[in-house]
A and B are shown apart, each in its own frame.
Chain A
Protein backbone atom coordinates (compact mmCIF):
# COMPACT_ATOMS: atom_id res chain seq x y z
CA UNK A 1 0.00 0.00 0.00
CA UNK A 2 2.86 2.30 0.76
CA UNK A 3 4.31 1.73 -2.65
CA UNK A 4 0.97 2.34 -4.28
CA UNK A 5 0.86 5.78 -2.74
CA UNK A 6 4.27 6.53 -4.10
CA UNK A 7 3.18 5.71 -7.62
CA UNK A 8 0.08 7.73 -6.95
CA UNK A 9 2.09 10.84 -6.28
CA UNK A 10 4.35 10.50 -9.27
CA UNK A 11 1.91 9.42 -11.93
CA UNK A 12 -1.60 10.39 -10.96
CA UNK A 13 -1.53 13.39 -8.70
CA UNK A 14 1.02 15.45 -10.59
CA UNK A 15 -1.22 16.43 -13.50
CA UNK A 16 -3.94 17.35 -11.04
CA UNK A 17 -1.64 19.59 -9.03
CA UNK A 18 -0.41 21.27 -12.21
CA UNK A 19 -4.05 21.99 -12.99
CA UNK A 20 -4.45 23.30 -9.48
CA UNK A 21 -1.65 25.79 -9.94
CA UNK A 22 -3.31 27.17 -13.05
CA UNK A 23 -6.79 27.77 -11.70
CA UNK A 24 -5.67 28.77 -8.22
CA UNK A 25 -7.06 27.81 -4.87
CA UNK A 26 -10.21 29.92 -5.16
CA UNK A 27 -11.04 28.74 -8.68
CA UNK A 28 -10.69 25.18 -7.50
CA UNK A 29 -13.03 25.82 -4.60
CA UNK A 30 -15.70 27.41 -6.81
CA UNK A 31 -15.41 24.59 -9.29
CA UNK A 32 -15.81 21.96 -6.60
CA UNK A 33 -18.76 23.73 -5.01
CA UNK A 34 -20.54 24.02 -8.34
CA UNK A 35 -19.94 20.33 -8.99
CA UNK A 36 -21.29 19.37 -5.60
CA UNK A 37 -24.41 21.52 -6.02
CA UNK A 38 -25.04 20.11 -9.46
CA UNK A 39 -24.74 16.54 -8.26
CA UNK A 40 -27.04 17.10 -5.27
CA UNK A 41 -29.62 19.00 -7.27
CA UNK A 42 -32.29 16.35 -6.91
CA UNK A 43 -31.82 16.22 -3.15
CA UNK A 44 -31.89 20.01 -2.83
CA UNK A 45 -35.06 20.14 -4.92
CA UNK A 46 -36.66 17.45 -2.80
CA UNK A 47 -36.11 19.43 0.39
CA UNK A 48 -37.19 22.68 -1.26
CA UNK A 49 -40.49 21.20 -2.41
CA UNK A 50 -41.02 19.58 0.96
CA UNK A 51 -40.38 22.88 2.73
CA UNK A 52 -42.70 24.79 0.44
CA UNK A 53 -45.50 22.20 0.51
CA UNK A 54 -45.46 21.92 4.25
CA UNK A 55 -45.13 25.59 5.20
CA UNK A 56 -47.82 26.57 2.68
CA UNK A 57 -49.99 23.80 4.16
CA UNK A 58 -50.42 21.91 0.89
CA UNK A 59 -49.86 19.00 3.20
CA UNK A 60 -50.88 19.25 6.86
CA UNK A 61 -47.72 20.35 8.67
CA UNK A 62 -48.81 18.48 11.78
CA UNK A 63 -48.38 15.24 9.86
CA UNK A 64 -45.47 16.26 7.68
CA UNK A 65 -43.65 19.15 9.33
CA UNK A 66 -41.34 21.23 7.12
CA UNK A 67 -37.64 20.30 7.03
CA UNK A 68 -36.76 23.48 8.90
CA UNK A 69 -38.69 22.22 11.91
CA UNK A 70 -37.28 18.75 11.48
CA UNK A 71 -33.77 20.19 11.46
CA UNK A 72 -34.38 22.28 14.56
CA UNK A 73 -35.80 19.25 16.36
CA UNK A 74 -32.63 17.32 15.53
CA UNK A 75 -30.44 20.22 16.67
CA UNK A 76 -32.43 20.54 19.86
CA UNK A 77 -32.10 16.84 20.58
CA UNK A 78 -28.41 17.01 19.82
CA UNK A 79 -27.95 19.97 22.17
CA UNK A 80 -29.82 18.15 24.92
CA UNK A 81 -27.28 15.40 24.40
CA UNK A 82 -29.92 12.74 23.97
CA UNK A 83 -29.55 12.22 20.23
CA UNK A 84 -25.78 11.90 20.38
CA UNK A 85 -25.95 9.51 23.32
CA UNK A 86 -28.50 7.27 21.60
CA UNK A 87 -26.63 7.38 18.30
CA UNK A 88 -23.42 6.49 20.06
CA UNK A 89 -25.13 3.67 21.98
CA UNK A 90 -26.40 2.11 18.74
CA UNK A 91 -23.10 2.54 16.93
CA UNK A 92 -21.12 0.96 19.77
CA UNK A 93 -23.45 -2.04 19.87
CA UNK A 94 -23.13 -2.54 16.13
CA UNK A 95 -19.36 -2.14 16.31
CA UNK A 96 -19.02 -4.68 19.11
CA UNK A 97 -21.38 -7.21 17.52
CA UNK A 98 -19.74 -6.82 14.16
CA UNK A 99 -16.23 -7.11 15.57
CA UNK A 100 -17.07 -10.37 17.34
CA UNK A 101 -18.75 -11.71 14.24
CA UNK A 102 -15.72 -10.74 12.12
CA UNK A 103 -13.32 -12.48 14.50
CA UNK A 104 -15.42 -15.65 14.38
CA UNK A 105 -16.54 -15.72 10.75
CA UNK A 106 -13.35 -15.00 8.85
CA UNK A 107 -11.33 -17.90 10.30
CA UNK A 108 -14.41 -20.16 10.32
CA UNK A 109 -15.15 -19.33 6.69
CA UNK A 110 -11.54 -19.97 5.72
CA UNK A 111 -11.56 -23.38 7.36
CA UNK A 112 -14.97 -24.40 6.00
CA UNK A 113 -13.92 -23.28 2.52
CA UNK A 114 -10.64 -25.13 2.70
CA UNK A 115 -12.36 -28.39 3.70
CA UNK A 116 -15.51 -27.68 1.77
CA UNK A 117 -16.18 -31.23 0.64
CA UNK A 118 -16.18 -32.35 4.24
CA UNK A 119 -18.54 -29.65 5.49
CA UNK A 120 -20.76 -29.47 2.43
CA UNK A 121 -23.27 -32.07 3.57
CA UNK A 122 -22.73 -31.95 7.30
CA UNK A 123 -22.68 -28.34 8.32
CA UNK A 124 -23.81 -26.16 5.46
CA UNK A 125 -27.49 -27.18 5.25
CA UNK A 126 -27.80 -26.34 8.93
CA UNK A 127 -26.10 -22.97 8.46
CA UNK A 128 -28.31 -22.18 5.49
CA UNK A 129 -31.42 -22.88 7.55
CA UNK A 130 -30.14 -20.68 10.37
CA UNK A 131 -29.49 -17.90 7.89
CA UNK A 132 -33.07 -18.14 6.63
CA UNK A 133 -34.61 -17.75 10.10
CA UNK A 134 -36.60 -14.55 10.26
CA UNK A 135 -34.70 -12.20 12.51
CA UNK A 136 -37.84 -10.28 13.46
CA UNK A 137 -39.29 -13.49 14.78
CA UNK A 138 -36.08 -14.04 16.69
CA UNK A 139 -36.08 -10.67 18.49
CA UNK A 140 -38.31 -11.94 21.34
CA UNK A 141 -36.21 -15.09 21.62
CA UNK A 142 -33.07 -13.01 22.01
CA UNK A 143 -34.83 -10.86 24.59
CA UNK A 144 -35.81 -13.92 26.60
CA UNK A 145 -32.36 -15.44 26.30
CA UNK A 146 -30.24 -12.39 26.98
CA UNK A 147 -32.62 -9.89 28.56
CA UNK A 148 -33.39 -6.52 27.00
CA UNK A 149 -30.20 -4.52 26.92
CA UNK A 150 -26.73 -4.26 25.52
CA UNK A 151 -25.95 -7.97 25.46
CA UNK A 152 -29.13 -8.76 23.59
CA UNK A 153 -28.47 -6.03 20.99
CA UNK A 154 -24.93 -7.23 20.48
CA UNK A 155 -26.22 -10.75 19.97
CA UNK A 156 -28.75 -9.53 17.41
CA UNK A 157 -25.96 -7.80 15.50
CA UNK A 158 -23.73 -10.82 15.83
CA UNK A 159 -26.48 -13.05 14.50
CA UNK A 160 -27.39 -10.99 11.45
CA UNK A 161 -23.89 -9.88 10.53
CA UNK A 162 -22.35 -13.33 10.60
CA UNK A 163 -24.13 -14.74 7.56
CA UNK A 164 -22.89 -12.46 4.80
CA UNK A 165 -19.39 -12.56 6.29
CA UNK A 166 -19.33 -16.30 6.69
CA UNK A 167 -20.76 -17.28 3.32
CA UNK A 168 -18.68 -14.81 1.39
CA UNK A 169 -15.53 -15.99 3.17
CA UNK A 170 -16.38 -19.60 2.40
CA UNK A 171 -16.86 -18.59 -1.19
CA UNK A 172 -13.52 -16.78 -1.32
CA UNK A 173 -11.74 -19.58 0.42
CA UNK A 174 -13.05 -22.09 -2.12
CA UNK A 175 -12.02 -19.92 -5.04
CA UNK A 176 -8.42 -19.31 -4.14
CA UNK A 177 -6.24 -19.15 -7.24
CA UNK A 178 -4.49 -22.49 -7.48
CA UNK A 179 -1.61 -21.16 -9.55
CA UNK A 180 -0.83 -18.34 -7.17
CA UNK A 181 -0.84 -20.76 -4.27
CA UNK A 182 1.49 -23.01 -6.21
CA UNK A 183 3.83 -20.15 -7.05
CA UNK A 184 3.89 -19.09 -3.41
CA UNK A 185 4.55 -22.62 -2.28
CA UNK A 186 7.40 -23.01 -4.74
CA UNK A 187 8.97 -19.94 -3.15
CA UNK A 188 8.82 -21.54 0.25
CA UNK A 189 5.67 -19.90 1.65
CA UNK A 190 4.10 -22.12 4.28
CA UNK A 191 1.83 -21.94 7.30
CA UNK A 192 1.16 -18.57 8.78
CA UNK A 193 3.26 -16.75 6.18
CA UNK A 194 1.12 -18.29 3.47
CA UNK A 195 -2.04 -17.15 5.21
CA UNK A 196 -0.80 -13.64 5.89
CA UNK A 197 0.97 -12.92 2.63
CA UNK A 198 -1.15 -14.83 0.14
CA UNK A 199 -4.48 -16.09 1.39
CA UNK A 200 -5.62 -12.99 3.23
CA UNK A 201 -4.78 -10.56 0.40
CA UNK A 202 -6.43 -12.94 -2.04
CA UNK A 203 -9.54 -12.97 0.13
CA UNK A 204 -9.72 -9.23 0.77
CA UNK A 205 -12.12 -8.47 -2.10
CA UNK A 206 -14.52 -11.12 -0.85
CA UNK A 207 -14.21 -10.02 2.75
CA UNK A 208 -15.01 -6.45 1.74
CA UNK A 209 -18.20 -7.51 0.02
CA UNK A 210 -19.22 -9.44 3.11
CA UNK A 211 -18.31 -6.63 5.49
CA UNK A 212 -20.28 -4.09 3.56
CA UNK A 213 -23.52 -6.03 3.56
CA UNK A 214 -22.93 -7.17 7.12
CA UNK A 215 -22.57 -3.68 8.51
CA UNK A 216 -25.52 -2.34 6.55
CA UNK A 217 -27.70 -5.20 7.68
CA UNK A 218 -26.51 -4.75 11.27
CA UNK A 219 -27.61 -1.12 11.43
CA UNK A 220 -30.87 -1.96 9.82
CA UNK A 221 -31.61 -4.68 12.31
CA UNK A 222 -30.37 -2.97 15.44
CA UNK A 223 -32.69 -0.06 14.84
CA UNK A 224 -35.55 -2.47 14.22
CA UNK A 225 -34.77 -4.38 17.40
CA UNK A 226 -34.47 -1.16 19.41
CA UNK A 227 -37.90 -0.22 18.19
CA UNK A 228 -39.32 -3.55 19.31
CA UNK A 229 -37.82 -3.58 22.75
CA UNK A 230 -35.19 -1.32 24.26
CA UNK A 231 -34.70 1.54 26.63
CA UNK A 232 -31.84 3.19 24.79
CA UNK A 233 -30.60 3.62 21.25
CA UNK A 234 -31.64 5.37 18.09
CA UNK A 235 -34.55 3.01 17.39
CA UNK A 236 -35.83 3.53 20.90
CA UNK A 237 -35.56 7.32 20.49
CA UNK A 238 -37.58 7.05 17.31
CA UNK A 239 -40.19 4.95 19.00
CA UNK A 240 -40.45 7.27 22.00
CA UNK A 241 -40.66 10.41 19.88
CA UNK A 242 -43.48 8.65 18.07
CA UNK A 243 -45.24 7.99 21.36
CA UNK A 244 -44.69 11.56 22.48
CA UNK A 245 -46.13 12.87 19.20
CA UNK A 246 -42.86 14.63 18.56
CA UNK A 247 -43.37 14.36 14.81
CA UNK A 248 -40.46 16.62 13.73
CA UNK A 249 -38.00 14.55 15.76
CA UNK A 250 -39.36 11.36 14.19
CA UNK A 251 -38.58 12.65 10.74
CA UNK A 252 -35.29 13.95 12.03
CA UNK A 253 -34.29 10.51 13.22
CA UNK A 254 -35.21 9.02 9.85
CA UNK A 255 -32.86 11.54 8.27
CA UNK A 256 -30.12 10.85 10.81
CA UNK A 257 -30.37 7.12 10.09
CA UNK A 258 -30.14 7.81 6.38
CA UNK A 259 -27.11 10.02 6.85
CA UNK A 260 -25.55 7.32 8.99
CA UNK A 261 -26.05 4.77 6.21
CA UNK A 262 -24.45 7.14 3.71
CA UNK A 263 -21.49 7.79 5.99
CA UNK A 264 -20.94 4.05 6.45
CA UNK A 265 -21.09 3.55 2.73
CA UNK A 266 -18.55 6.32 2.15
CA UNK A 267 -16.21 4.88 4.76
CA UNK A 268 -16.34 1.47 3.11
CA UNK A 269 -15.84 2.85 -0.36
CA UNK A 270 -12.81 4.80 0.84
CA UNK A 271 -11.39 1.77 2.61
CA UNK A 272 -11.98 -0.36 -0.44
CA UNK A 273 -10.17 2.14 -2.61
CA UNK A 274 -7.27 2.12 -0.23
CA UNK A 275 -6.96 -1.62 0.30
CA UNK A 276 -8.02 -2.82 -3.12
CA UNK A 277 -6.23 -0.25 -5.24
CA UNK A 278 -4.44 -3.09 -6.98
CA UNK A 279 -7.66 -4.34 -8.49
CA UNK A 280 -8.28 -3.26 -12.05
CA UNK A 281 -12.01 -3.79 -11.84
CA UNK A 282 -12.71 -2.12 -8.52
CA UNK A 283 -13.16 1.44 -9.65
CA UNK A 284 -11.41 1.79 -12.98
CA UNK A 285 -8.95 4.55 -13.82
CA UNK A 286 -10.94 7.36 -12.24
CA UNK A 287 -11.31 5.47 -8.98
CA UNK A 288 -7.61 4.93 -8.67
CA UNK A 289 -6.87 8.56 -9.43
CA UNK A 290 -9.20 9.75 -6.74
CA UNK A 291 -7.93 7.29 -4.16
Chain B
Protein backbone atom coordinates (compact mmCIF):
# COMPACT_ATOMS: atom_id res chain seq x y z
CA UNK B 1 0.00 0.00 0.00
CA UNK B 2 1.35 3.37 -0.97
CA UNK B 3 1.53 6.33 1.35
CA UNK B 4 -1.67 7.93 2.61
CA UNK B 5 -2.30 11.25 0.96
CA UNK B 6 -5.23 12.12 3.15
CA UNK B 7 -6.06 10.71 6.49
CA UNK B 8 -9.20 11.55 8.36
CA UNK B 9 -9.12 10.65 12.03
CA UNK B 10 -12.35 10.57 14.00
CA UNK B 11 -13.73 13.63 12.27
CA UNK B 12 -16.84 15.06 13.93
CA UNK B 13 -18.93 18.02 12.96
CA UNK B 14 -21.78 19.47 14.95
CA UNK B 15 -24.04 22.33 14.07
CA UNK B 16 -25.67 24.40 16.73
CA UNK B 17 -29.10 25.85 16.32
CA UNK B 18 -30.18 29.25 17.50
CA UNK B 19 -30.45 29.38 21.23
CA UNK B 20 -33.99 29.75 22.39
CA UNK B 21 -34.38 30.50 26.06
CA UNK B 22 -31.13 28.86 26.91
CA UNK B 23 -31.74 25.63 25.04
CA UNK B 24 -29.35 25.27 22.13
CA UNK B 25 -30.13 22.56 19.64
CA UNK B 26 -27.17 20.51 18.57
CA UNK B 27 -27.12 18.54 15.38
CA UNK B 28 -24.49 15.92 14.72
CA UNK B 29 -23.74 16.08 11.01
CA UNK B 30 -20.76 13.75 11.11
CA UNK B 31 -19.59 11.44 13.84
CA UNK B 32 -16.25 9.67 14.09
CA UNK B 33 -15.46 9.43 10.44
CA UNK B 34 -12.08 7.87 9.78
CA UNK B 35 -10.79 7.34 6.30
CA UNK B 36 -7.45 7.07 4.57
CA UNK B 37 -6.99 7.99 0.97
CA UNK B 38 -3.92 6.94 -0.98
CA UNK B 39 -1.94 9.14 -3.31
CA UNK B 40 -3.43 9.10 -6.79
CA UNK B 41 -6.51 7.22 -5.68
CA UNK B 42 -10.01 7.92 -6.89
CA UNK B 43 -12.33 7.34 -3.98
CA UNK B 44 -16.07 7.82 -4.06
CA UNK B 45 -18.35 8.51 -1.16
CA UNK B 46 -21.94 7.42 -1.64
CA UNK B 47 -24.80 7.90 0.75
CA UNK B 48 -28.36 9.08 1.07
CA UNK B 49 -29.12 12.79 0.91
CA UNK B 50 -28.31 14.50 4.13
CA UNK B 51 -25.85 11.94 5.41
CA UNK B 52 -23.17 14.57 5.73
CA UNK B 53 -21.26 13.92 2.52
CA UNK B 54 -21.06 17.56 1.62
CA UNK B 55 -20.15 18.48 5.16
CA UNK B 56 -17.30 15.99 5.03
CA UNK B 57 -16.11 17.59 1.83
CA UNK B 58 -16.24 21.04 3.41
CA UNK B 59 -14.12 19.72 6.25
CA UNK B 60 -11.64 18.22 3.80
CA UNK B 61 -11.47 21.48 1.91
CA UNK B 62 -10.87 23.37 5.13
CA UNK B 63 -13.94 25.49 4.55
CA UNK B 64 -15.46 24.48 7.87
CA UNK B 65 -13.60 23.78 11.10
CA UNK B 66 -13.91 20.32 12.61
CA UNK B 67 -15.76 19.97 15.88
CA UNK B 68 -13.55 17.10 16.89
CA UNK B 69 -10.89 14.85 15.37
CA UNK B 70 -8.43 15.87 12.69
CA UNK B 71 -7.71 15.68 9.00
CA UNK B 72 -4.17 15.34 7.74
CA UNK B 73 -2.94 15.91 4.24
CA UNK B 74 0.60 14.67 3.59
CA UNK B 75 0.93 14.50 7.35
CA UNK B 76 0.02 18.16 7.85
CA UNK B 77 -3.10 19.12 9.70
CA UNK B 78 -5.84 20.89 7.74
CA UNK B 79 -6.59 24.27 9.26
CA UNK B 80 -8.10 26.23 6.39
CA UNK B 81 -8.56 26.27 2.65
CA UNK B 82 -5.43 26.17 0.56
CA UNK B 83 -4.56 25.68 -3.05
CA UNK B 84 -3.38 22.09 -2.66
CA UNK B 85 -7.02 21.09 -2.78
CA UNK B 86 -9.29 21.96 -5.66
CA UNK B 87 -12.99 21.80 -5.09
CA UNK B 88 -15.78 21.29 -7.59
CA UNK B 89 -19.09 22.15 -6.03
CA UNK B 90 -22.57 20.98 -6.67
CA UNK B 91 -24.31 23.29 -9.11
CA UNK B 92 -21.04 24.52 -10.70
CA UNK B 93 -20.77 27.76 -8.68
CA UNK B 94 -19.18 29.50 -11.65
CA UNK B 95 -18.83 33.26 -11.48
CA UNK B 96 -21.38 34.51 -14.00
CA UNK B 97 -19.66 37.87 -14.53
CA UNK B 98 -16.51 36.16 -15.71
CA UNK B 99 -15.96 34.48 -19.04
CA UNK B 100 -14.89 30.84 -19.17
CA UNK B 101 -11.27 31.92 -19.35
CA UNK B 102 -11.61 34.39 -16.49
CA UNK B 103 -13.34 31.74 -14.40
CA UNK B 104 -10.52 29.28 -15.02
CA UNK B 105 -7.94 31.96 -14.20
CA UNK B 106 -9.56 32.88 -10.89
CA UNK B 107 -7.37 30.77 -8.63
CA UNK B 108 -4.23 31.96 -10.38
CA UNK B 109 -5.40 35.55 -10.12
CA UNK B 110 -5.80 35.15 -6.38
CA UNK B 111 -2.28 33.74 -6.26
CA UNK B 112 -1.10 36.85 -8.16
CA UNK B 113 0.29 34.72 -10.97
CA UNK B 114 1.85 36.46 -13.93
CA UNK B 115 -0.39 37.37 -16.86
CA UNK B 116 1.50 35.18 -19.26
CA UNK B 117 1.48 32.15 -17.00
CA UNK B 118 -2.21 32.68 -16.33
CA UNK B 119 -3.03 32.80 -19.99
CA UNK B 120 -1.01 29.69 -20.80
CA UNK B 121 -2.42 27.69 -17.90
CA UNK B 122 -6.01 28.60 -18.57
CA UNK B 123 -5.51 27.82 -22.24
CA UNK B 124 -4.14 24.40 -21.34
CA UNK B 125 -7.00 23.45 -19.05
CA UNK B 126 -9.72 24.89 -21.26
CA UNK B 127 -8.29 22.71 -23.99
CA UNK B 128 -8.15 19.72 -21.67
CA UNK B 129 -11.88 19.94 -21.05
CA UNK B 130 -12.54 20.65 -24.71
CA UNK B 131 -13.87 24.20 -24.52
CA UNK B 132 -11.34 26.08 -26.70
CA UNK B 133 -14.12 27.55 -28.80
CA UNK B 134 -16.00 28.83 -25.79
CA UNK B 135 -13.20 30.46 -23.85
CA UNK B 136 -14.67 33.94 -24.16
CA UNK B 137 -18.27 33.00 -23.48
CA UNK B 138 -20.12 33.73 -20.29
CA UNK B 139 -21.43 30.82 -18.20
CA UNK B 140 -25.06 31.56 -19.07
CA UNK B 141 -24.23 30.96 -22.71
CA UNK B 142 -23.10 27.39 -22.01
CA UNK B 143 -24.95 24.12 -21.52
CA UNK B 144 -24.96 22.32 -18.18
CA UNK B 145 -22.28 19.87 -19.25
CA UNK B 146 -20.05 22.67 -20.48
CA UNK B 147 -20.45 24.59 -17.25
CA UNK B 148 -19.42 21.48 -15.37
CA UNK B 149 -16.32 21.24 -17.52
CA UNK B 150 -15.49 24.85 -16.72
CA UNK B 151 -15.86 24.15 -13.01
CA UNK B 152 -13.48 21.23 -13.38
CA UNK B 153 -10.97 23.26 -15.38
CA UNK B 154 -11.19 26.03 -12.81
CA UNK B 155 -10.39 23.61 -10.00
CA UNK B 156 -7.52 22.05 -11.94
CA UNK B 157 -5.98 25.29 -13.15
CA UNK B 158 -4.17 26.31 -10.00
CA UNK B 159 -2.56 22.90 -9.75
CA UNK B 160 -4.08 21.25 -6.68
CA UNK B 161 -2.83 17.80 -5.69
CA UNK B 162 -6.24 16.74 -4.51
CA UNK B 163 -9.54 17.23 -6.22
CA UNK B 164 -12.67 17.26 -4.10
CA UNK B 165 -15.86 16.86 -6.09
CA UNK B 166 -19.31 17.27 -4.60
CA UNK B 167 -21.95 15.59 -6.77
CA UNK B 168 -20.48 17.38 -9.75
CA UNK B 169 -22.55 15.61 -12.38
CA UNK B 170 -25.87 15.62 -10.56
CA UNK B 171 -27.37 18.46 -12.56
CA UNK B 172 -26.73 17.21 -16.10
CA UNK B 173 -28.67 14.76 -18.25
CA UNK B 174 -27.82 11.06 -18.26
CA UNK B 175 -25.88 11.02 -21.50
CA UNK B 176 -23.81 14.09 -20.71
CA UNK B 177 -23.19 12.55 -17.35
CA UNK B 178 -21.61 9.45 -18.85
CA UNK B 179 -19.47 11.54 -21.16
CA UNK B 180 -18.32 13.65 -18.26
CA UNK B 181 -17.50 10.57 -16.22
CA UNK B 182 -15.32 9.24 -18.99
CA UNK B 183 -13.66 12.60 -19.42
CA UNK B 184 -12.98 12.76 -15.72
CA UNK B 185 -11.30 9.35 -15.82
CA UNK B 186 -9.26 10.49 -18.77
CA UNK B 187 -8.16 13.63 -16.95
CA UNK B 188 -7.45 11.63 -13.81
CA UNK B 189 -5.26 9.22 -15.74
CA UNK B 190 -3.43 12.11 -17.33
CA UNK B 191 -2.89 14.14 -14.17
CA UNK B 192 -2.86 11.39 -11.49
CA UNK B 193 -4.57 13.62 -8.96
CA UNK B 194 -6.01 12.18 -5.79
CA UNK B 195 -9.74 12.53 -6.19
CA UNK B 196 -12.53 12.32 -3.65
CA UNK B 197 -15.79 12.11 -5.48
CA UNK B 198 -19.10 12.50 -3.74
CA UNK B 199 -22.20 11.15 -5.40
CA UNK B 200 -25.52 9.59 -4.66
CA UNK B 201 -25.34 7.47 -7.78
CA UNK B 202 -24.10 3.99 -7.01
CA UNK B 203 -23.32 3.30 -10.66
CA UNK B 204 -21.26 6.43 -10.96
CA UNK B 205 -19.31 5.54 -7.84
CA UNK B 206 -18.51 2.03 -9.08
CA UNK B 207 -17.65 3.11 -12.58
CA UNK B 208 -15.21 5.78 -11.47
CA UNK B 209 -13.59 4.60 -8.30
CA UNK B 210 -10.81 2.50 -6.91
CA UNK B 211 -12.74 2.33 -3.67
CA UNK B 212 -16.23 3.29 -2.59
CA UNK B 213 -16.97 4.53 0.92
CA UNK B 214 -20.60 4.05 1.92
CA UNK B 215 -21.94 6.64 4.30
CA UNK B 216 -25.05 6.38 6.41
CA UNK B 217 -26.96 9.17 8.02
CA UNK B 218 -27.98 10.27 11.45
CA UNK B 219 -25.31 10.82 12.41
CA UNK B 220 -23.21 10.71 9.25
CA UNK B 221 -20.61 8.03 9.49
CA UNK B 222 -18.86 5.59 7.19
CA UNK B 223 -20.53 2.22 7.21
CA UNK B 224 -18.24 0.35 4.92
CA UNK B 225 -15.47 0.77 2.38
CA UNK B 226 -15.45 -1.45 -0.67
CA UNK B 227 -12.69 -1.98 -3.20
CA UNK B 228 -13.69 -1.88 -6.82
CA UNK B 229 -11.44 -4.40 -8.49
CA UNK B 230 -12.82 -4.01 -11.96
CA UNK B 231 -10.04 -3.62 -14.47
CA UNK B 232 -9.58 -0.28 -16.21
CA UNK B 233 -10.54 0.90 -18.74
CA UNK B 234 -13.96 -0.12 -17.57
CA UNK B 235 -16.78 -1.15 -19.77
CA UNK B 236 -19.18 1.74 -20.05
CA UNK B 237 -22.27 -0.46 -20.32
CA UNK B 238 -21.87 -1.31 -16.63
CA UNK B 239 -23.62 -4.64 -16.94
CA UNK B 240 -20.85 -7.05 -16.02
CA UNK B 241 -21.33 -9.54 -13.18
CA UNK B 242 -18.78 -7.81 -10.99
CA UNK B 243 -20.48 -4.49 -11.50
CA UNK B 244 -23.89 -5.91 -10.65
CA UNK B 245 -22.77 -7.65 -7.52
CA UNK B 246 -21.05 -4.50 -6.25
CA UNK B 247 -24.11 -2.48 -7.02
CA UNK B 248 -26.27 -4.95 -5.08
CA UNK B 249 -23.91 -4.89 -2.14
CA UNK B 250 -23.82 -1.10 -1.89
CA UNK B 251 -27.54 -0.92 -2.40
CA UNK B 252 -28.22 -3.24 0.50
CA UNK B 253 -25.84 -1.23 2.70
CA UNK B 254 -27.79 1.91 1.93
CA UNK B 255 -31.21 0.30 2.03
CA UNK B 256 -31.78 0.29 5.78
CA UNK B 257 -30.76 3.86 5.91
CA UNK B 258 -32.51 5.43 2.97
CA UNK B 259 -35.88 5.76 4.61
CA UNK B 260 -34.57 8.23 7.13
CA UNK B 261 -32.60 10.23 4.63
CA UNK B 262 -35.13 12.87 3.64
CA UNK B 263 -36.12 13.69 7.11
CA UNK B 264 -32.51 14.17 8.07
CA UNK B 265 -31.81 16.37 5.11
CA UNK B 266 -34.49 18.83 6.08
CA UNK B 267 -33.21 19.06 9.56
CA UNK B 268 -29.68 19.43 8.30
CA UNK B 269 -30.51 22.23 5.92
CA UNK B 270 -32.36 24.05 8.61
CA UNK B 271 -29.39 23.87 10.87
CA UNK B 272 -27.00 24.98 8.22
CA UNK B 273 -28.99 28.06 7.33
CA UNK B 274 -28.61 29.37 10.87
Task: Spell out A's residues near B (CB within 8 Å).
Answer: 3-4, 6-7, 10, 177, 179-180, 182-189, 193, 197-198, 201-202, 204, 277-280
CB pair B95–A3 under 8 Å, yes or no, is no
Q: Which of A6, A182, A187 has a CB less than 8 Å from the CB of B83?
A: A187
CB pair B90–A278 under 8 Å, yes or no, is no
Is B53 close to A, CB under 8 A?
no
Q: Which of A180, A185, A201, A279 has a CB less than 8 Å from the CB of B81?
A: A185
Stretch at the interface among B134-142, B174-182, B206-214: B134-142
CB pair A197–B109 under 8 Å, yes or no, is yes
Q: With A and B bound together, what is the CA distance between A189 and B154 in angstroms?
A: 14
Secondary structure dominating the interface of A: helix
Please name all residues of chain A whose beta carbon is closer than 8 Å to the beta carbon of B136 when the two chains form the complex: 3-4, 6-7, 10
Is B85 close to A, CB under 8 A?
yes
CB pair B137–A7 under 8 Å, yes or no, is yes
CB pair B95–A187 under 8 Å, yes or no, is no
Please name all residues of chain B whose beta carbon is closer than 8 Å to the beta carbon of A201 when the two chains form the complex: 95, 97-98
CB pair A188–B93 under 8 Å, yes or no, is no
Name B52-89 residues within 8 Å CB distance of A: 58, 61-63, 81-83, 85-87, 89
Q: Which of B87, B94, B102, B139 has a CB less than 8 Å from the CB of A186?
A: B87
Q: With A and B bound together, what is the CA distance between A10 and B61 in angstroms?
A: 39
Q: With A and B bound together, what is the CA distance between A163 and B67 in angstroms?
A: 42
> Which chain B residue has the least Cβ–Cβ distance from A188?
B110
Q: With A and B bound together, what is the CA distance between A94 and B97 in angstroms?
A: 30
How many A-B residue pairs have C-beta atoms within 8 angstroms? Tell me.
Answer: 79
Q: With A and B bound together, what is the CA distance between A187 and B81 in angstroms?
A: 7
CB pair B91–A278 under 8 Å, yes or no, is no
Please name all residues of chain A whose beta carbon is closer than 8 Å to the beta carbon of B109 when the two chains form the complex: 197
CB pair B87–A183 under 8 Å, yes or no, is yes
Q: Which of A6, A188, A202 has a CB less than 8 Å from the CB of B111?
A: A188
Task: Spell out B's residues near A (CB within 8 Å).
Answer: 58, 61-63, 81-83, 85-87, 89-91, 93-99, 101-102, 106-107, 109-111, 136-141, 154, 158
> Which chain A residue has the least Cβ–Cβ distance from B98?
A278
Please name all residues of chain B whose beta carbon is closer than 8 Å to the beta carbon of A198 when the two chains form the complex: 95
Please name all residues of chain A whose beta carbon is closer than 8 Å to the beta carbon of B95 when the two chains form the complex: 180, 183-184, 198, 201
Of A4, A7, A183, A189, which is in contact with the most chain B CB atoms at under 10 Å from its CB? A183
Please name all residues of chain A whose beta carbon is closer than 8 Å to the beta carbon of B97 when the two chains form the complex: 201-202, 204, 278-279
CB pair B82–A188 under 8 Å, yes or no, is yes
CB pair B96–A279 under 8 Å, yes or no, is yes
Please name all residues of chain B whose beta carbon is closer than 8 Å to the beta carbon of A184 when the two chains form the complex: 95, 106
Shortest distance between the CB of B60 and any CB in chain A (Å) = 10
9 contacts between A and B (CB under 8 A): A179-B91, A183-B89, A183-B95, A187-B107, A188-B110, A278-B96, A278-B97, A278-B139, A279-B97
Q: A187-B83, A188-B83 are in contact. Are A3 and B110 (CB under 8 A)?
A: no
Q: With A and B bound together, what is the CA distance between A10 and B99 in angstroms?
A: 15
Please name all residues of chain A whose beta carbon is closer than 8 Å to the beta carbon of B90 when the two chains form the complex: 179
Of A187, A188, A189, A278, which is in contact with the most chain B CB atoms at under 10 Å from its CB? A187
Sample of 6 more A-B contacts, CB < 8 Å, known A183-B89, A189-B106, A197-B106: A182-B93, A186-B63, A197-B110, A201-B95, A201-B97, A277-B138
CB pair B140–A278 under 8 Å, yes or no, is yes
Q: With A and B bound together, what is the CA distance between A21 and B133 in angstroms?
A: 27
The 4 A-B pairs of least Cβ separation, nearest first, read A280-B140, A179-B93, A187-B107, A183-B93
Please name all residues of chain B whose beta carbon is closer than 8 Å to the beta carbon of A187 when the two chains form the complex: 81, 83, 106-107, 110, 154, 158
> Which chain B residue has the least Cβ–Cβ distance from A186?
B87
Of B62, B86, B99, B111, which is in contact with the most chain A CB atoms at under 10 Å from its CB? B99
> Which chain B residue has the least Cβ–Cβ distance from A198?
B95
CB pair A3–B101 under 8 Å, yes or no, is yes
